[in-house]
Amino acid sequence: MQKAITSGPGTGHSGPGGVKDGLDADEAASVEAPSGKDADYENFPVGSWLLPKALRPHIAVFYAFARAIDDIADSPDLAPEEKVRRLDGFEAAVTGREVGDPAFATAHAMRESLSETGVSAAHCIDLITAFKQDATKLRYQNWDDLMGYCILSAAPVGRYLLDLHGGSTDGYGPSDALCNALQVINHLQDCKDDYLTLGRVYLPGDWMADAGVVVEDLAKERSTEGLRRVLDQCLDATETLMVDARRLPGGLKSRRLAMESAVIIEIADRLIHRLRDEDPLGARRIKLSKPGTLWCGVKGVLRAWFQTQ
C-alpha cells in the first residue's frame, strides 16, 4: 500500500458540482497565501485509494479548503488583522453569505460539496475559528488550553470524514483523540520552525516553566535537558490520547474508513516512537520514510481487516 493521493487539490481541476477545487493564479493572489505544503507533508494519507472512489473528490475539496485557510494563518508575511480579514471571507463564502467573489473559489467549492453530501459546514467553521486563533494567539498556558485549540484545529477533520462515511457507533470521541494526537505530533515535529518563523509556541507553558525552559531554547541546535523533559511529557499525554484513538476502527460504519484510520494509528504510533528517540530541534524534520509509511499501511490494513471480519 502507498500513501497515495488519488484526487488531490490541484489548481484548476474540477471538483464536485463542476466547481474548481483550486484557484487560477490571478484569482488566488488576492486572498490565498500558498505555503508550498501539499498532501505529502501531512502525517496521514489524504484521499487514498482505501477510501470509496465516489467520496475522494469531496475529500480533495475539503483538503484544499483546509490547506488554504491553514496557509493564511501560517503566513509569516501577513499581519494578524489581515489574516483574520481573509479568514472572515472564507467563512462568508463557505456558509453562503457571499457567493460571487472568485477569490474565494476554494470556499465556494467546499460549500457546493457540503450541499451535495449533506455534511454540516460546522466542521469548516471550526477550522476557520482555530486559524483565526492562530493569527493572534502565540502561547498556550497548559495542556487543557492546547487541547481546546486542537478540538477546533484538528478534530473537525476527523468529524468531517466520519460524517461523510456514515458515522461511528462510538460517536466522535475516538476520532477526536486521534486527530488531537496527530496535531500534537505535528506541533512537536515543527516546534523549532513554528517559533523561528511565527514566534508561535504550542508547548504547554506550565510544563515549560516547571522544567526551567524558556521559549528561546527552541532556537537552539539541540534540545536542552529541560526541553527534552517537556517534549517527553507531551508525548506521554499524546500516548494517553492514543489509548482512546485505537477504538476508532472498530466503531466505524465504513470498512474502508476503518482501514484508513488503522493505517493512521500505525503512523501516529511510529512517529511518537521516533520523536522519543530523536531531537526535533535537529537539522531535519522527523518524519517517516516511504518504506516506513508503507509498512504502517500494511500493518494497519491487516489489523483493520481482521478486526472487521
Q: What string of DSSP letters covers 208-236?
A: HHHTT--GGGGGSSS--HHHHHHHHHHHH
At 10, is the pLDDT very low, low, confident or very high (cuts 50, 70, 90)?
A: very low
Band the pLDDT of 12: cuts 50, 70, 90.
Answer: very low
* Cα–Cα distance measured from residue 239 to residue 297, given in angstroms and rounded to the nearest whole number: 20
What pLDDT shows up at residue 100? 85
- In the chain, the percentage of residues whose pLDDT exceeds 90 is 72
Is the pLDDT at 22 greater than 50? The verdict is no
**Cα 132 from chain centre:** 15
Q: How confident is the model at residue 306 (pLDDT cuts 50, 70, 90)?
A: low
Instruction: Choose the weakest-confidence range: 42-46, 205-209, 282-286.
Output: 42-46
Contact 68, 106 (CB under 8 A): yes
C-alpha cell at 271: 512517529
Q: Where are the domains of the chain?
A: 1-136, 138-309
Q: What mean pLDDT is predicted for residues 168-187?
A: 97
What radius of gyration, in Å, describes the C-alpha atoms of the chain? 19
213 confidence band (pLDDT: 50, 70, 90): very high
Q: Which pLDDT band, with edges at 50, 70 and 90, does 48 fall under?
A: confident
Residue 126 φ then ψ, to 5° = -60, -40
Rounded mean pLDDT, 255-262 = 90
Helix (H) or strand (E) holding 297: helix 290-307
Q: pTM for this one? A: 0.85
Predicted confidence (pLDDT) at residue 141 exceeds the cutoff of 80: yes
Closest CA to 128 of 83, 174, 186, 78: 83
> What band does 6 get if pLDDT is binned at 50, 70 and 90?
very low
Of 211, 215, 255, residue with least CA distance to 230: 211
Q: In this structure, which amino acid lies at residue 204?
A: P
- Domain at 138-309, CATH class: mainly alpha
pLDDT attached to residue 25: 45
Q: Does pLDDT of 293 surpass 70?
A: no
pLDDT above 90 for 37? no
Whether the CB-CB separation of 135 and 101 falls below 8 Å is answered with no
pLDDT grade for 300, boundaries at 50, 70 and 90: low
Q: How far apart are CA 274 and CA 45, in angstroms?
A: 19
What pLDDT score was predicted for residue 79? Answer: 96
Residue 286 corresponds to which amino acid?
A: I
Whole-angstrom distance, CA of residue 45 vs CA of residue 129:
24
Region 247-267: mean pLDDT is 92
Q: Which of 33-37, 80-84, 195-199, 292-296 is the least confident region?
A: 292-296
Is residue 307 very low, low, confident or very high in pLDDT (cuts 50, 70, 90)?
low
Low-confidence winner among 23-27, 136-140, 187-191, 287-291 (lowest mean pLDDT) = 23-27
Average pLDDT of the chain to the nearest whole number:
86
pLDDT grade for 150, boundaries at 50, 70 and 90: very high
Q: Mean pLDDT throughout 155-173?
A: 97
Amino acid 44: pLDDT: 60
Q: How far apart are CA 23 and CA 268, in angstroms?
A: 32
